[in-house]
Amino acid sequence: MLQALSKLTTSFTRKRHYGWVIFALTGANLTVEGGMKNSVPVIFVALRDGFGRSAAATSAVFSASGITGGLVAPLVGWLLDRLGPKRLFPVAGLVILAGYLLGSYASDMWQLFIFYSLVAALGETTISSFTATATLAPWFPRTRGRVLGLADAGNPLGQGIFAPLAQILISFMGWRLTFRILGLVFFLMVSPANFLLQRRPPAYEAIQAPLEPVAAPESKDPGQSVELSRTMRRPAVWFLVLARMSASVGISLTTVHLVAFFIAAGYSGLQAAATIGAVGVVGMVGRPISGTLSDYLGRELVYTAGLGMHISALVLVLLFGDGASMWPIIVFVGLSGLSDGVAGLVVAAKAADIVPSSNLGSVMGVIQLGRGVGFAAGPVIGGLLYDLQGDYLWAFSLAVAMSMGAILLMWAARFASPRQSLAST
């Protein structure tokens, strides 16, 4: 009986290789990341009203989070390559819990810069899309775009759940108790499962053995530093960094201020939060589609189409969002949802195409630095433009320009890429 059970378990393991367990863990991590970053527009309004500060001053809390994420990302990537996700991710859950709990007791906004912008942001960065790419992509080298897209559906799932939930909790309980509840939920979703089930990703060549991937060795090749240095000198890598940065400026210019924009246009706070949540629901379909199409049509074409849809959505609500008509909101949800996450997902897949798995965490950390710079600059610029102009016309227009620049940089990475990807060597 026991022998039969053992054979059955072995057969199941071979048919369902361990990459699918890592896939599930990655999806849960990205659901938490999506919940954290996409509840920001709701939290922004609560903090602005609660502390009585300007849009620019309140936006600075979230810009500082971007700075933290950008600065620590290279270090997080380096630690991921060396310590592995099993050690790193559970600690990240604890850090998120600490940041939210301590932040809930802030009596002045400057304290949020420590507990939310520094502590919680450090935890979020550690479980974010760039570490997900480095952890998950080596398990699925033949279909990495599709699998990354499927896992990245966790991000809009978190958006669809936690943005409306945050609005409801804040409406009934206030932002402080909401912080405590969200911090505990995020911790429970990240730390226990990763501590028990996470494994170090395999090398690309090991995954070619069809059923049983072999974990990458703990010790590192003496030539790894030389290989990393050679990789980082390639122009294509830096074009990806710049593309991530430019798109992040454009996206964060508007994302943090979306609820405030819709309220200023005449929509209710709940309608605004529901719109963000609906974008997340549609994004659960959009991200897997984008990832799969990028495997077949090419990263650059899908990236261009995705950011083109994002630009169209911004122009639409800017011109026709009048607080009474619902059709601009519906079309905005469709365009934004189907293009949701393209800026990060496709860049990550492109990086996995050209970078060896042994150095992918470090390279993704540098790319995440570009994202951090963008998310640091975007919210404050958007807030300043609103404070100066009294509306979001210039902020949304600049967001469109930055997104167009990101498209050009992505194509530059295509033409600067080596004919044979480093990841295949």
Range of the domain at 269: 18-199+226-417
In a domain, 91, yes or no: yes
What is the average per-residue pLDDT within 321-331? 86
Residue-wise pLDDT for 75-85, tens only, equals 888 888 888 89
Q: What is the pLDDT of residue 185?
A: 94
Q: Does the structure show a pLDDT above 70 at 362?
A: yes
In a domain, 261, yes or no: yes
Residue type, 413: A
Mean pLDDT of 245-252: 89
Asked whether residue 9 is assigned to any structural domain, the reply reads: no
Q: Which residue has the higher pLDDT, 269 or 242?
A: 242
> Would residue 220 count as lying in a domain?
no
| pLDDT tier at 3, thresholds 50, 70, 90 | low
213 located within any domain: no
Higher pLDDT, 259 or 97: 97
Residue 425 scores a pLDDT above 60: no
Tell me, yes or no, whether 137 lies in a domain. Answer: yes
State pLDDT tens for residues 379-422: 888 888 888 888 788 888 899 999 999 999 999 988 886 544 44
- Across all residues in the chain, what is the average pLDDT? 81
Segment 5-24, tens digit of pLDDT: 344 344 444 445 788 899 99
Residue 95 pLDDT exceeds 90: yes
Per-residue confidence (pLDDT) for residue 228, from 0 to 100: 66
Share of the chain above pLDDT 70, in %: 87
Number of domains in the chain: 1
Confidence (pLDDT) at 203: 58
pLDDT at 155 over 70: yes
CATH number of domain containing 124 = 1.20.1250.20
The arithmetic mean of pLDDT across residues 104-118, rounded, is: 90
Higher pLDDT pick, 319 / 376: 319
Please check whether residue 214 lies inside any domain of the structure: no
Q: What is the model's pLDDT at position 227?
A: 66
Mean pLDDT over residues 297-306, rounded? 91
In one-letter notation, the amino acid at residue 157 is: L
**Residue 350 within a domain:** yes
Q: What is the mean pLDDT of residues 268-283?
A: 81
Out of 58-62, 151-155, 161-165, 387-391, the most confident range is 161-165
Q: Which of 45-54, 105-114, 224-233, 275-284 has the largest mean confidence?
A: 105-114
